[in-house]
């Protein structure tokens, strides 16, 4: 079950409480601004034009798995002059304020455009993804961090695709993530750029693109059947839905409720081992189908099959076969007892002695 820990789209245009989400930033860094000319969603987005500007939200600790997502856009590329330059756009910190991991857009000294994921635990480590990112284009960036002594991990997603990972690490030195920082956290000198940020979100599971539904794992779904339904777009929980099957089925195109059908099946199947002859069963199916959305009853379908069988040269039609089966089902074999009628007995004649 996804738990949203933070969400802000700068719709208050003052780095306070977003009226659409109810969340507020803890504080700003430097002097960022809100503007309406360039935005990813809604009316406003943040603009940072100098290094050390942006905003952050603290007090998010409590989860060993943490996801943070932003949408970011640049007005220019770093100069290609033999100097490596970067802009840190998203950073996670712990409650002590220690940096855990960050994502940055950059150009190498060799002139290659790329993304970098720089993590601090268990030791400083860098993952690089070569990517020709462009100006005036919104990019979704999502960071995943797992706090663990044995299976700690860092992952970066770009536009919904995982592009960098560093897994199986002891990240316990970093502890749980407590803070999201975003904006132009650091811009290397010599690069003049406007950095736009919008639609910031923190959660305990994958967030991804806006307007796209993501399903959890089977275990997560099974563990949250009733608890997640009322908290999402479902109007009722699974239990509510199961409890109202009859009332849901009755008003729609199937004019029999589940209970009606089960009751009829009971009455049909009760009489014997083979509980009804085939004609009886088909008659019941006809009555059900005619009351529903079927265009033809079962008998009509069988009639059509008969005509096809005759055209194909079959010597026995479906109806004839069914009639034979009906006869076989209803006939009971009785033992035949033959009574022998005694014949007339001829009286013996007297034998004369010689």
Whether omega before 122 lies within 30 degrees of 0, making that bond cis, reads: yes
CA-wise closest residue to 224 among 38, 3, 68, 45: 3
- pLDDT tens digit string along 273-319? 444 444 554 555 555 544 444 445 556 666 666 666 565 555 566 66
For residues 105-121, one letter each, b for 16 or more C-beta atoms within 10 angstroms of the residue's C-beta and e for the rest, the string is bbbbeeeebbbbbbbbb
**Quick one: CA dihedral 268, 272, 274, 276, positive or negative?**
negative
How far apart, in whole angstroms, are the C-alpha atoms of residue 82 and residue 192? 16
Domains located in the chain, CATH noted: 4-212 (2.60.120.200), 244-330 (no CATH)
Q: Which two tokens stand for residue 287?
A: 């009555």
Tell me: pLDDT of 115 over 50. Answer: yes
Separate counts of helices (H) and strands (E) for the chain? 8, 15
Q: Is 281 exposed, middle or buried (0-12, 13-18, 19+ CB in 10 A)?
A: middle
Instruction: Please tell me the distance from the alpha carbon of residue 217 to that of residue 121, in angstroms, as a whole number.
Output: 28
**Nearest alpha carbon to residue 210 among 224, 197, 200, 222:** 200
When pLDDT is averaged across residues 95-121 and rounded to a whole number, the result is 98
Mean pLDDT of the chain: 78
Q: How many residues does the chain have?
A: 354
- pTM for the model stands at 0.62
């Amino acid at each position: 079950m996804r738990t949203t820990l933070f969400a802000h789209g700068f719709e208050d245009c003052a780095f306070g409480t977003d009226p659409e989400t109810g969340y507020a930033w803890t504080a700003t860094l430097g002097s960022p601004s809100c503007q309406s000319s360039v935005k990813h969603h809604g009316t406003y987005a943040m603009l940072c034009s100098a290094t050390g500007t942006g905003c952050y939200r603290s007090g998010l600790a409590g989860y060993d798995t943490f996801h943070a997502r932003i949408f970011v856009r640049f007005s220019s590329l770093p100069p290609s002059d033999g100097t490596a330059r970067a802009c840190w756009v998203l950073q996670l910190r712990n409650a002590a304020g220690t940096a855990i991991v960050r994502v940055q857009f950059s150009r190498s000294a060799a002139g290659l455009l790329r993304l970098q994921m720089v993590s601090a635990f268990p030791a400083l480590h860098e993952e690089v993804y070569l990517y020709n990112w462009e100006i005036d284009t919104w990019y979704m960036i999502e960071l995943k961090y797992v706090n663990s002594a044995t299976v700690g991990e860092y992952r970066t997603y770009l536009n919904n695709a995982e592009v960098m990972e560093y897994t199986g690490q002891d990240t316990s030195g970093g502890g749980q993530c407590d803070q999201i920082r975003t904006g132009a956290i650091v811009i290397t000198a010599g690069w003049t750029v406007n950095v736009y940020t919008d639609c910031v979100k923190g959660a305990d599971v994958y967030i991804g693109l806006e307007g796209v539904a993501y399903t959890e794992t089977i275990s997560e779904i099974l563990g949250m059947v009733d608890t997640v339904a009322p908290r999402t777009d479902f109007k009722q929980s699974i239990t509510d839905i199961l409890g109202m099957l009859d009332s849901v089925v009755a008003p729609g195109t199937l004019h029999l409720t589940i209970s009606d059908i089960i009751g009829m099946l009971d009455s049909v199947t009760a009489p014997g081992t083979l509980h009804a002859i085939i004609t009886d069963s088909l008659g019941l199916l006809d009555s059900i189908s005619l009351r529903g959305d079927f265009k033809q009853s079962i008998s009509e379908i069988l009639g059509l099959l008969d005509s096809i069988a005759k055209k194909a040269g079959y010597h026995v039609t479906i109806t004839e076969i069914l009639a034979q089966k009906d006869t076989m089902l209803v006939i009971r074999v009785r033992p035949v007892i033959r009574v022998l009628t005694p014949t007339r007995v001829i009286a013996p004649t007297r034998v004369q002695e010689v």
